[in-house]
Structure 1
């Protein structure tokens, strides 16, 4: 997992994401998660979800990202990852620096790429329904 070297690296990532100047190949799993950490340090979960949804769709369109039934914005995974970051922040604390928080999250089990599969069946989370609408996890025995 790539960690950030400075807070300015994270701030630059967010600025470029928000202004649609981030290269498409820089929009990695780590970038998505760092963006989630940044937004949830600024906004509550509901506000962050509304803003992130809008900004991902705009960003994807700006870089010519393919939007189809199989690719593009994913409502359930966006919610899942923001909910996961929010749960991490509740445990880790919201009073630490951005770089410390972001790198601690990225280094944790919370950031594992296939974490959603602990909560969802693969076919379920890859479905058109889950891409379009929020589908709640089927495995509710695990806390976020």
Structure 2
């Protein structure tokens, strides 16, 4: 997992993402997670979800990314990752610096790329329904 070197690096990522000037190849798993963390430090979950949904769709469109039923924006995974970041922030705390918080999150089990598969069946989370509409995890015995 690639960690960030400075807060300005994170802020630059967010600015480029928000203005659709981030190169598509820089839109990595770590970038997605840092963006979600940044939004949840600024907004509550409902507000962050609304803004992140809009921004991802706009960003994907601006870089010529896929906007179809098979690829592109994914409602369930966006919600899942924001809920995961929210759970981490509740445990880690909001008073710490952005760089420390972001790197702690990226270094934790919360950020593992396949984490959603602890909560969803693969076929379920990759379905058109999950991509389009929010699906609540089937495995609710685990906290985020």
Whether the TM-score (by the shorter chain) exceeds 0.5 is yes
Q: Deviations over 1:33-62 (max 9, x none)?
A: 000110000000000000000000000000
Partners in 2 of 1:37 and 1:14 — Cα distance? 10
* 1:73-120 deviations in Å (ceiling 9; x for gaps): 000000000000000000000000000000000000000000000000
Report the Cα distance in structure 2 between the residues aligned to 1:109 and 1:70, rounded to whole angstroms: 28
CA–CA distance in structure 1, aligned partners of residues 36 and 78 of structure 2: 9
CA RMSD of aligned residues (A): 0.3
Superposition map of 1:13-52 within 5 A? 13-52=13-52
Alignment of 1:82-97 (within 5 A): 82-97=82-97
Gaps of 5+ in 1: none
What aligned pairs does 1:75-114 form with structure 2 within 5 A after superposition? Answer: 75-114=75-114
TM-score normalized with structure 2 length: 0.99
Displacement, 1:68? 1.7
Runs of 4+ in structure 1 deviating by more than 4 angstroms, as ranges, are none
How many residues were matched structurally? 144
Distance 1:134 1:102 in 2: 26
Structure 1 equivalent of residue 123 of structure 2: 123
SS of corresponding position for 1:3? coil
- TM (normalized to structure 1)? 0.99
Quote the residue 2:11 is aligned against: 11
